[in-house]
Amino acid sequence: MKQIKIKGKNKLTGTIRISGAKNAAVALIPAAILSDEDVTICNVPEISDINSLEEILRYLNVKFSRATESIIINPKDMTNKEIPEDISRKLRASYYFMGALLSKYKKVEMYFPGGCNIGSRPINLHLDGFKKLGATVIEENDKYTIEAKKLIGTKIDLEIASVGATINIILAATKAKGTTTITNAACEPEIKNVCDLLNSMGAKITGAGTNTIKIKGVTKLKKGYVEVIPDRIEAGTYIIIGSLIGENLKIDNIIPEHLKALTTKLLESNANIEIGRDYVLASSSNDLKSVDVETYYFPGFPTDLQQPFSVYLTQTKGTSILKETIYENRFMHVPYLNRMGANIKVDGKELKIKGKTQLEGKMVASTDLRGGAAMIVAGLISKGTTTINDVEHILRGYEGIVEKLSLVGAKIEIREIK
Ligand code: EPU
């Protein structure tokens, strides 16, 4: 088990360069297998979710070479076979192999995906989409066999604007016969990034980034290239940190437009941030005031920043209501924050956060990826030392978090414990 220790209250100054987006990269790698030629993906983050996807590529005999920040994937000699349960369950994004293998081979056998335990996360909309395209789905003890004689383009109206279902249906429809139209599609920037790669490979997809996406099926995909967009959730986490304990902390290599929901709320609460062309400069402020926030689909306030933002709200004066509308159970970090001195009440889907409270370092745990990031934010602003256990969750999604924070002055270290 890995553990992070933080000695809090050190001002952070300097520059943090944001890495490629986890939630784009984890879809781009499965998308690449649709080609039979080289596909190059640049700005790939060094996180353990990517290592788990590489394990699937290796298992399916897909050749790839990884260099710093890039990966070249060549699926010419790949074999389609059942992806075992232990590999499927390592991460959520293993489910993108459903759409990709179905598209390429018209058959896929794999298990229910893994990912953070933040409530029931069904994949019914993915499966319904495959069925509408002409596939049959058999589920037995969490194992899915999805097969089609032919995939035929159709109209698919998503009941929920799900990121995963949107991408999986795009993957499955890319080589289908005719045109597929997805309405109420998710608009997250990661989806456009995936479509940009597929289009560079010869796919015919329009509308990505809006809620209506059209996919005109093609028979063959060739070599392709894409650069992973900057990780808006990693960036948002550091912007929150900078607003609490920064001194001109520059969060660099970002697309500010992707972070508008966060920066709007920060400015509303008097945060000391300056938004540049591709960076945000953040400094602490003694004058932060409470603000109400509700998570929502893009361009709304991202659920993935809800947990780090809950720590921010412990430092604002007054009572804030933070409502989670996407997941059932994304408040598991709250008891730890309260143990550190926060005053947070969980009321159904809402947090009632009373500030400002002085947090104190304690022994805590990372309950999930973003819950772990929240513990790091809390540790950095606390008096004394915070020890965070189970930090493997954090390493799934934040590239070099300990190194990045150390470089700007944080007293933070990671070690292996028994
Ligand atoms: N949903 C269904 N049925 C489905 C699919 C989704 O009911 O078939 C529900 C989910 O249970 C959830 C909501 O729809 O309540 C939205 O889920 P969505 O499918 O959009 O989420 P996801 O694709 O499983 C991705 C990210 C998440 C991020 C969400 C929302 C990846 C690998 N994961 O998940 O990232 O929270 O979109 O933006 O891209 C994270 O990075 O910490 C993380 C959890």
Q: d(Cα 168, Cα 99) in Å, to the nearest integer?
A: 5
Span from the CA of 163 to the centroid of ligand 1 (angstroms): 6
Ligand 1 pocket, mutate which of 19, 96, 326 (most atoms under 8 A from CB): 326
Residue 349 DSSP symbol: T
CA distances (Å), 260 to each of 108, 264, 352, in order? 39, 6, 23
The answer to whether the CB of 258 is under 6 A from ligand 1 is no
Reading the block at residue 64, the tokens are 């790839």
Nearest Cα residue to atom 4 of ligand 1:
123
Span from the CA of 106 to the centroid of ligand 1 (angstroms): 25
Predicted confidence at residue 68, as pLDDT, reads: 87
Measured from the CA of 23, which atom of ligand 1 is nearest? Answer: 39
Q: Produce one character per residue of 343-361: b if its CB has 16 or more CB atoms within 10 Å, e if not.
A: ebeeeebbbebbbbbebeb
Q: Assign residue 96 a region: left if phi > 0, alpha if psi is -120 to 50, beta otherwise? A: alpha
The answer to whether the CB of 125 is under 6 A from ligand 1 is yes
Q: What angle do CA 367, 371, 376 make, to 5 degrees?
A: 110
Measured from the CA of 126, which atom of ligand 1 is nearest? Answer: 8
Nearest Cα residue to atom 28 of ligand 1:
304
Predicted confidence at residue 117, as pLDDT, reads: 84
Nearest Cα to Cα of residue 24 among 168, 192, 166, 201? 192
Q: What is the mean pLDDT of each run of 10 residues along the chain (418 residues)?
A: 97 98 98 97 96 96 94 97 93 95 97 86 96 97 95 98 98 98 98 98 98 97 98 98 98 98 98 98 97 98 98 98 94 98 97 97 97 98 98 95 98 95
CB 6 within 8 A of CB 361: yes
Nearest Cα residue to atom 14 of ligand 1:
162
Predicted confidence at residue 328, as pLDDT, reads: 87
Q: d(Cα 51, Cα 87) in Å, to the nearest integer?
A: 11
Span from the CA of 54 to the centroid of ligand 1 (angstroms): 22
Span from the CA of 330 to the centroid of ligand 1 (angstroms): 12
Predicted confidence at residue 159, as pLDDT, reads: 97
Strand (E) positions, 203-333? 204-206, 212-216, 224-227, 246-252, 272-275, 279-283, 293-294, 318-323
Within 10 Å of residue 82's Cβ, how many Cβ atoms?
Answer: 14
Span from the CA of 50 to the centroid of ligand 1 (angstroms): 18
Nearest Cα residue to atom 6 of ligand 1:
162
Within 10 Å of residue 266's Cβ, how many Cβ atoms?
Answer: 26
Reading the block at residue 166, the tokens are 């949107």
CB 89 within 8 A of CB 110: no
The answer to whether the CB of 311 is under 6 A from ligand 1 is no
CB 36 within 8 A of CB 107: no
Nearest Cα residue to atom 19 of ligand 1:
162
Predicted confidence at residue 120, as pLDDT, reads: 82
Span from the CA of 115 to the centroid of ligand 1 (angstroms): 10
Measured from the CA of 91, which atom of ligand 1 is nearest? Answer: 32
Q: Which residues pair with 279 in a beta bridge?
A: 252
The answer to whether the CB of 18 is under 6 A from ligand 1 is no
Q: d(Cα 217, Cα 224) in Å, to the nearest integer?
A: 17
Q: Is 116 an active-site residue?
A: yes
